[in-house]
Chain A
Amino acid sequence: MSRAEDPIVITGVGAVTAAGVGSDALLDALRSDRFCGVSWGGALPIEHVGACRDSVPSHPDFPDDRKADLAFSAAREALDAAGGWEHVAPDRRAVFLGTGLSSVTPAELESDLYPHLTAEGRFDRVAMARDLSTDRGAPRRHMPARVTAGLRLELGAHGPSATSFSACAAAAQAIGEGLRAIRRGEADMALVGGHDSMIHPLGMLSFVVLGALSPSRCRPFDGRRDGFMIGEGAGMLILERASSAHARGARPLAVLAGAGSSVDAWNATAPHPEGLGAGLSMKRALRDAGVAPEAIDYVNCHGTGTPLGDRAECGAVSRMFGRNAPPVSTVKGALGHTIAAAGAVEAVASVLAIRHGFLPGTVGHGSLDPELTVDVVGAARDTVPEYVLSNSFGFGGQNCSLVFAANALQARS
């Protein structure tokens, strides 16, 4: 069967975000334009963080590892929603995840680093390494692929797998990898997504010193925007062929129609000012999906709320779609920026938008920056998007866009 006749569909989603544990919590927050940030009582010059307030089950094999807990929770939800994958041979189950820098916990900062600071203001690295090597959890917590490996082990997935690390584009890249693995026939089902939490002292201060965090509120596409709210989360999706889902009676939630990636090739620390790479990744995703720009009903923007990032992305959207550009929004105003998980959380949001017939609003957006020429969805709109484009752009200039579609659903429901 051709790609159009037997598309890759999503049969389960899972999410843990500032909205809470579960994709239902995310749906509720997005439909009601709820700001999910919590007040930050620490000394850093920020007012809110997008932390998940719900209790997230702790995984016994990953002590003190927030990112792992987020990932396992979302993965279990996605797989349960899809009806499991026990019917698929282990070597036909794939896992592709995106992740970010390791979590340096306050305990590590205080116990592993500080005691080894010498009177000369340098670190005694030998003592530091010796100390770390006695804590079995510490080195493991810094291995980016630990969660991918843990999920493969727990879920009996012996098929293709990879851990993408491309900053804020990581999860979207991982979803694209899963799509290609199934297209090539290398796997029958794939768990794809991403997980990240930079809500820890070193994580947050890293973005503070970069000047990326808003000291007050994230205001995407607004003339007053001054950065994002740091968030945390995980998003997971189950991919399989429509024919396979149909055969076992699983109901597809949406179609993953295409993926495209690009590199800005501009600067390792700043986006291309005109969104060159952003435009390329959107163009490639559309071409991969086999849809024309005018078919897109909604763009789920990367939309971090930084002055440079929003300008570059909106410029690329305007050039790509011209006068008939579809409405755009970003969920980062509501949830915060989940960094490496962003592409997956926003993929789940896109699927929910298709499934439940609405466009998420842009929480925090007040008035459009006069330099931007896009139609911003301020408050959530009830409408059924048939094609959704979701963007993720990362430090280092790596970009990835995904196209989600509803069209195969009508044919099969």
Chain B
Amino acid sequence: MTRMRAPYSPVPTRRRVHLAAWSLFCSSGIGSDGLTGGGPGKVPGFKARSWVKDRKSLKLMGRSVQLGVAAVKAALDGVPGWEEVPAERRGIFVGASPQLGDPDDLSYALNAASPDGVFHLRAFAERGIDLIHPLWLVRGLSNNVIGFASAFHNLQGVNANYCDGRRGGWNALTEGFQAVAEGRADIVVAGGADAFVGAERLLGVPCGEGAAFLALRPAQPDEPAIELGDPAILQGIDDELGYLGAAAAPVAWVRANCSA
């Protein structure tokens, strides 16, 4: 057996992490417009077509994925020369909830399953399946932000997608930060995206939507380093902007740290 020396020390050499750029989409606006104010509700003026030119891809994206893909692009656009980082060293860490899909996508199939006004599971399988969009399942995947954003920006590096409700975005930030600090990536986009506007009745709380991403890379000697701080930063964001799911922590972090 041939062994090679492990390339890392047991606890990888920690590097200082620099916040190279950030993006923010929330009810008070996009980018620096969104740093203050706002309330529960939609991101004003967000047009997905302005951020995603590929119509075919756009059709496969739910609202939260559109917001997330746009926010990843906005964060990367703020980092001069990020394309020079080898694709294998570009990481992406995302917090996002699964989207159960538009129930109307199932309506024709359910109609076909009830010829006598009563729902029949067998009829649903026999006649309904062909009436469902082949990518119905794929549309609902929580990791679609990574799927599309990585394809658009050639992000082949370390990655993770978290589905932990409001904690998901915080997990993405901390793991993305660690990936840079441990030398596993030379640039990382980390953040979260979710869209709950319309789910107020189900969740019983005011709801919002949003996305925010940090572009992180190793700090040069003359650059400031950041620490992420404490997840207590989340407190109050729901009262301010409504339930944001996995977008809550990244949105809260940007609003708290990037206003200067």
Query: Which residues of A are interface residues toward B (Cβ below 8 A)?
Result: 1-4, 6, 42-44, 99, 101-102, 106, 109-110, 113-114, 117, 121-123, 125-126, 128-130, 132-133, 139, 142-145, 148, 161-167, 173, 177, 180, 183-185, 201, 205-211, 261-269, 276-277, 280, 284, 287-292, 294-295, 386-387, 394-398
Q: Is the CB of A165 within 8 A of B1?
A: no
Residues of A within 8 A of B4 (CB): 290-292
Q: Is the CB of A288 within 8 A of B8?
A: yes
Q: Of B136, B146, B154, B199, which one neighbours A166 at CB under 8 angstroms?
A: B146
- With a 10 A CB-CB cut-off, give which of B100, B138, B140, B160 has the most chain A CB atoms: B160
Q: Of A129, A165, A207, A264, which one neighbours B161 at CB under 8 angstroms?
A: A165
Interface string of B173-215 (1 = CB under 8 A from A): 0010010000000000000000000110111100000000000
Nearest CB of chain A from residue B110's CB, rounded to whole Å? 5
Say whether B142 faces chain A, with CB atoms less than 8 Å apart: yes
Stretch from B16-24, B30-38, B123-131, B216-224 that touches the partner:
B123-131
Say whether B259 faces chain A, with CB atoms less than 8 Å apart: no
Interface string of B49-66 (1 = CB under 8 A from A): 000000001001000000
Nearest CB of chain B from residue A184's CB, rounded to whole Å? 7
Q: Which residue of A lies closest to B127 (CB)?
A: A43
Q: Is the CB of B103 within 8 A of A128?
A: yes
Query: Which residues of B are interface residues toward A (Cβ below 8 A)?
Result: 1-11, 57, 60, 87-88, 92, 96-98, 100, 103-104, 106-108, 110-111, 113-114, 119, 121-122, 124-126, 128-130, 132-138, 140-144, 146-148, 150-151, 153-165, 167-168, 171, 175, 178, 198-199, 201-204
A207 and B140 CA atoms in complex are apart in Å by: 13
Q: Is the CB of B98 within 8 A of A396?
A: no
Q: Which residue of A lies closest to B143 (CB)?
A: A396
Q: Is the CB of B151 within 8 A of A265?
A: yes
Q: Is the CB of B100 within 8 A of A264?
A: no
Residues of B within 8 A of A1 (CB): 10
A117-B107, A126-B201, A396-B143 known; A268+B165 contact, CB < 8 A: no
Residues of A within 8 A of B114 (CB): 114, 117
Q: Which residue of B lies closest to A144 (CB)?
A: B163
A223 and B111 CA atoms in complex are apart in Å by: 39
A265-B87, A268-B57 known; A209+B132 contact, CB < 8 A: yes
Q: List 7 A-B contacts (CB under 8 A).
A: A2-B10, A3-B6, A128-B103, A209-B130, A210-B137, A265-B151, A292-B2
A110 and B150 CA atoms in complex are apart in Å by: 38
Q: Is the CB of A395 within 8 A of B138?
A: yes
A290-B4, A398-B159 known; A43+B100 contact, CB < 8 A: no
Nearest CB of chain A from residue B169's CB, rounded to whole Å? 12
Main secondary structure of the interface of B (DSSP, over half): mixed
A123 and B106 CA atoms in complex are apart in Å by: 9
A142 and B163 CA atoms in complex are apart in Å by: 11
Q: Is the CB of B137 within 8 A of A207?
A: yes
Q: Is the CB of B1 within 8 A of A295?
A: yes
Q: Which residue of A lies closest to B201 (CB)?
A: A129
Q: Which residue of B lies closest to A287 (CB)?
A: B7
Q: Is the CB of B202 within 8 A of A129?
A: yes
A126-B201, A183-B11, A395-B143 known; A163+B122 contact, CB < 8 A: no
A180 and B182 CA atoms in complex are apart in Å by: 11
Q: Is the CB of B140 within 8 A of A268?
A: no
Q: Of B154, B161, B163, which one neighbours A265 at CB under 8 angstroms?
A: B154
Nearest CB of chain B from residue A171's CB, rounded to whole Å? 13
A144-B142, A208-B129 known; A263+B104 contact, CB < 8 A: no
Residues of B within 8 A of A4 (CB): 6
Q: Is the CB of A268 within 8 A of B144?
A: yes
Q: Is the CB of B125 within 8 A of A201?
A: yes
Nearest CB of chain B from residue A212's CB, rounded to whole Å? 9
Q: Is the CB of B155 within 8 A of A133?
A: no
A10 and B256 CA atoms in complex are apart in Å by: 41
A257 and B6 CA atoms in complex are apart in Å by: 10
Residues of B within 8 A of A398 (CB): 143, 146-147, 159, 161
Nearest CB of chain A from residue B67's CB, rounded to whole Å? 16
Residues of A within 8 A of B88 (CB): 262, 280
A284 and B10 CA atoms in complex are apart in Å by: 16
A163-B162, A164-B162, A184-B11 known; A206+B156 contact, CB < 8 A: no
A121-B108, A184-B11, A207-B137 known; A277+B156 contact, CB < 8 A: yes
- With a 10 A CB-CB cut-off, give which of B87, B98, B108 has the most chain A CB atoms: B98
Residues of A within 8 A of B165 (CB): 143, 145
Q: Which residue of B lies closest to A291 (CB)?
A: B3
Extra A-B contacts (16), CB below 8 Å, given A205-B128, A386-B1: A1-B10, A3-B9, A42-B121, A43-B122, A109-B119, A117-B110, A144-B142, A144-B163, A184-B178, A261-B159, A265-B150, A266-B151, A396-B141, A396-B146, A398-B159, A398-B161
Nearest CB of chain B from residue A89's CB, rounded to whole Å? 20
Residues of B within 8 A of A148 (CB): 164
Q: Of A101, A173, A185, which one neighbours B140 at CB under 8 angstroms?
A: A101
